[in-house]
Structure 1
Amino acid sequence: MDASLVTTRDVVLVLAAAAPVTVLGRWAARRLSQPQIIGEIMACLLLGGVLASWADWQTGSPGWQAVKFLGHLGLALFLAGAAHGIRHGTDRIRGRAVAWLSAGSALLPLACGALFAAWVVAYGGTSLRGEAPVAALGLMLAIALAVTAVPVLAGVLADRGMEHTPTGRLAMASAVSIDAVIWLLLAVAIGLGAESGGIGQAAAVLICGLLAAVAVRRLASTTTGLRFASRHPALALALVGVAAVAAAQTTERLGLTDTIGAVLVGLAVPAGRSQPAWTKAAEGVGRIGRPMLPALFTLTGTTVAGSPQSGFSWQATAIATTLAIASKLTGSYLGARIGEQSPLISLQLAALMNCRGLTEIVVLQTGYSAGILTPGLYLALLAMALVTTALTGPLLWAIDHYTRVPEMRLTSPPHPAEG
């Protein structure tokens, strides 16, 4: 059979299998009152593991490469919209409370991530530790524990009717602040782990990218730019999408990963109430990319299952999960209390900030693609991400039902959050 026909057949079969599997996973998550992204990721990883035994579907095969392209295309589009959403949320609330909550929710998890990295280097063994430089591995694990997922957090707040409450606005503003720093640290980690160029090249690419993002944002915010986006919304959406894909490929070729380029485009798109046309374009690009992500999760399942060193470490999973939960809850609670929040509100904020979700998965995928995370370490951190995200609803329910301040309890029942 012609190679192009084989590739087309493989792509069609994989995507046809991923669609019902994704729907089934999301349905199962809803039934369990969990964020739907948890069910989606687990189902696609299992599908990828099953496909790993298919003779025509191996890592590096033409069909695999084609689905990889689609998955990373969707990731670039999704991240452009998500990064724009992060900027859009930064003007909602500011002040002492945000600063202290952000500091508490990030600094202690970063320190615990470094502690976990020290354990991996000392006791994890070659299969878990891998060949990445110690600095790159340490920073990547610190980042992994510090993430708070803005998309899933927004879904949780919307499901509970908390998005416009002071608590919800404070949680979202802090999560936005943390994630903005996380993407910068991730670029540094990738640079530290790069075989050529290293941190110097990564810093140069990142600085040039940020300067270009500022220049593009100012140009798009002019009267001419706003008029163009308002009169030609389809063209504006296409422009953002093409820019996201082009920037993603450029940063990947320059030693960083495609996620960094896509995030830079999201930061370049004007945000705010005075920029509704550009905001609509960025959000539209994100919605287009979101349905393509299951292809990426499926590929990850295939790669991990087919790796000769993909052994799952329960010890690493237990340590990472314990440190992640303890550091986020403790750091967030203390930060909120120092920021003059009540004990009850501080508990609610701690539970919300412990949510990692899709942002965590993207960060882990980036570290895995860059060769910093081994398959075993990737699986351990993935389990941590799923557990901490799944805990958000039960923790809020417990706070709601076991506090003695009825007027301040959460009033809406827990519902599954969109990923």
Structure 2
Amino acid sequence: MIPPQTLLVFFVQAAALLLLALLLGRLAVRLGVAAVVGELCAGVILGPSVFGQIAPRAEQWLFPSPSSHMLDAVAQLGVLLLIGLTGAHLDLRLIRRQGATAVRVSAFGLVIPLALGIGVGLLLPPEFRGTGEPAVFALFLGVAMCVSAIPVIAKTLMDMNLLHRNVGQLTLTAGLIDDAFGWVLLSVVTAMATAGAGAGTVVLSITSLLGVIVFSVVIGRPATRLTLRATEDPGVIAGQVVILVLAAAAGTQALGLEPVFGAFVAGLLVSTAVREPVRLAPLRTLTLGVLAPLYFATTGLRVDLTTLTRPDVLALGLLLLALAIIGKFLGAFLGAWTSRLSRWEALALGAGMNARGVVQMIVATVGLRLEVITTEVFTIIMVVAVITSLLAPPLLRLAMARIEATAEEEARLLTYGPRPGGAREDAR
């Protein structure tokens, strides 16, 4: 039985966070920024950074320490469904069409920031590390540095009417590959954090990952198609997708992997079974309208911007921001150079791939939950995610203005046209 006072606090928490998240999310969209930025700021305002400084007693009553398990549970449900929907909207055929060029761009864009992050993580003093092994902290920081955010990339390309351009499609495809490998790497690091950093743990984690993939292809894919194509009712389909996402998350959690990896795999299975995105509309509305904003606002509660007033934390933040940007741009340049693309096409790829957005935020939340990183590093990663997402559109616009459209691209635009309402869609 949940105590009445606990229920009261939870209801006030959820209502306050969701109200401010929706208001600031709408404001962010009007300003041409991803809604997730406003939703995250809602938690920052109600957390220790602002509300805690103005009215510490009220903030402590509303968000007592340790945090409410009920609020955390709802937020975790939101992120699992958000990742599941992200996977469900990936176009695997696009990856196959782009071929080797996208693989090269993605590989360089992953390896270089990963190496930079690991290098910095190994050199940082102990006070910036969590409670785990130094090697796990370094690997986690590398993963946080190398990911991209396909929802932010897709939203940016839609807003700028660049999806029909070759560079736009290449950026989107490389981002899809980055997303997939990002969840795989996060699962490996999670297993190392929970079971130890030995070679046996890594081998077991990779074996488990391969087992999940094989099971998904051999059994999960036909079972998902059979289940989801048995009905046309969008409400029933939404329920089935939720069950699939939660079951997959529970399965990877039981294997010692990160549950968001299971949710992502479940989403990929859904993408092969549901060809018409409108059939996922009820679940998309609930997730993007309620659960995802609540998750990001809850995440913002853990951001303590007052730590950036410390010179050492601010210096580390500027260093990680610079390495994050340089790593992606260098990776995109090498990928473009090996594929014989122009320097402006390389700049456009680097600008698009630099947007970290929601994916880096989720990675940071996982690291804080596992106590792999400290609050200071968590805050830095969140700030890097926001800044890189804000820098992507102007840099992309600068580069694309110098790339002449080909006849093939013009024909593609005439065939498909700009996506209607793209500029009004939220991007997580």
Please classify the TM superposition score into its range, dividing by the shorter chain length: 0.7 to 0.9
- For 1:366-381, list aligned pairs within 5 A: 366-381=366-381
In structure 1, the residue matched to 2:74 is 70
CA distance in 2, matches of 1:34, 1:307: 24
Partner of 1:141: 141
Q: Is the 8 A contact 2:36 2:296 kept in 1?
A: no
8 Å CA contact 2:351–2:392 kept in 1: the answer is yes
- In the other structure, the counterpart of 1:266 is 267
**In the alignment, does 2:320 pair up with 1:320?**
yes
Q: Which residue of the partner structure matches residue 8 of structure 2?
A: 9
Per-residue deviation, residues 14-34 of structure 1 (Å, max 9, x unmatched): 122123311332244345432
RMSD: 3.3
Residue 213 (structure 1) aligned with residue 216 (structure 2): yes
Answering whether residue 252 of structure 2 is matched by residue 251 of structure 1, we say yes
Map 1:86-105 onto structure 2 (within 5 A).
Answer: 86=90, 88=92, 90-91=94-95, 93-105=97-109
Maintained 8 Å contact 1:333/1:347: yes
Pick aligned residue for 1:106 from 110, 135, 158: 110
Partners of 1:307 and 1:29 in 2: CA distance: 23
Aligned to 2:63: 57
TM-score, normalising length from structure 2?
0.83
Correspondence for 2:182: 182
SS at the partner of 1:228? coil
Using the TM superposition, name which of 279-288 and 356-365 deviates more.
Answer: 279-288
Is 1:228 equivalent to 2:240 in the alignment? no
Is 2:237–2:279's contact at 8 Å kept on the other side of the alignment?
yes
Cross-structure match for 1:339: 339
Whole-Å separation in 1 of the counterparts to 2:169 and 2:71: 38
5+ long unaligned stretches in structure 1 = none
Letter in 1 for 2:291: M
Structure 2 counterpart SS, 1:355: coil
Secondary structure of the structure 2 residue equivalent to 1:93 = helix
Q: Deviations over 1:251-306 (max 9, x none)?
A: 3354333312212322332527xx426x5555654443233123333333444559
Q: SS where residue 271 of structure 1 aligns?
A: helix
Displacement of 1:194: 0.8
What is the identity, as a one-letter code, of the residue corresponding to 1:71? A
Identify which range, 388-397 or 185-194, moves more after superposition: 388-397
Q: Secondary structure at the match of 1:54?
A: helix
* Structure 1: distance between partners of 2:33 and 2:227: 41
Per-residue deviation, residues 188-233 of structure 1 (Å, max 9, x unmatched):
1001111469445544543443233221112333xx546404x444
Distance change in 2, residues 1:201/1:58 (3 Å): farther
Identify if the C-alpha distance between structure 1 residues 332 and 342 changes in structure 2 by more than 3 Å, giving closer, same or farther: same
Letter in 1 for 2:265: L
Aligned AA (1:34): V
Amino acid aligned to 2:214:
L
Which of 285, 288, 291 is matched with 2:286 structurally?
A: 288
Query: For residue 84 of structure 1, what is the aligned residue in structure 2?
Result: 88
Q: Deviations over 1:96-141 (max 9, x none)?
A: 3212211222221111111221222xxx332x11222223222211
Is 1:217–1:270's contact at 8 Å kept on the other side of the alignment? no
1:19-30 superposed matches below 5 A: 19-30=18-29
User: 307-316 or 355-364: which moved more?
Assistant: 307-316
Shift of 1:367: 1.9
CA distance in 2 between counterparts of 1:111 and 1:20 reads 40
Shift in alpha-carbon separation, 1:59–1:212, aligned structure 2, 3 A: farther
Q: Give the conservation status (yes or no) of the 8 Å contact 2:28–2:37.
A: yes
Secondary structure, counterpart of 2:90 in structure 1 = helix
Distance of 1:371 and 1:99 partners within structure 2 = 33
Distance 2:29 2:279 in 1: 29
Name the structure 1 match of 2:39.
40
The equivalent of 2:151 in structure 1 is: 151
Corresponding residue SS for 1:268 = helix
Contact 2:113 2:327 in 1 (8 A): yes
Q: 1:249 to 1:220 in 2, by over 3 A?
A: closer
Secondary structure class of the residue paired with 1:109: helix
Q: Does 2:127 match 1:118?
A: no
State the 1:156 CA deviation: 0.6
CA deviation after TM superposition for structure 1 residue 165, in Å: 2.0
User: How many Å separate the matches in 2 of 1:113 and 1:101?
Assistant: 18
| Distance in 2 (alpha carbons) for counterparts of 1:178 and 1:386 | 18
Q: 3-state SS of the aligned residue for 1:331?
A: helix
Is 2:296 the partner of 1:297? Answer: yes
The aligned length equals 403
SS in 2 for 1:163: coil
Q: Is the 8 A contact 2:44 2:302 kept in 1?
A: no
**Aligned partners of 2:304 and 2:376 also within 8 Å:** no
* Distance in 2 (alpha carbons) for counterparts of 1:307 and 1:373: 17
What CA distance in whole angstroms lies between the structure 2 residues aligned with 1:57 and 1:335?
Answer: 46
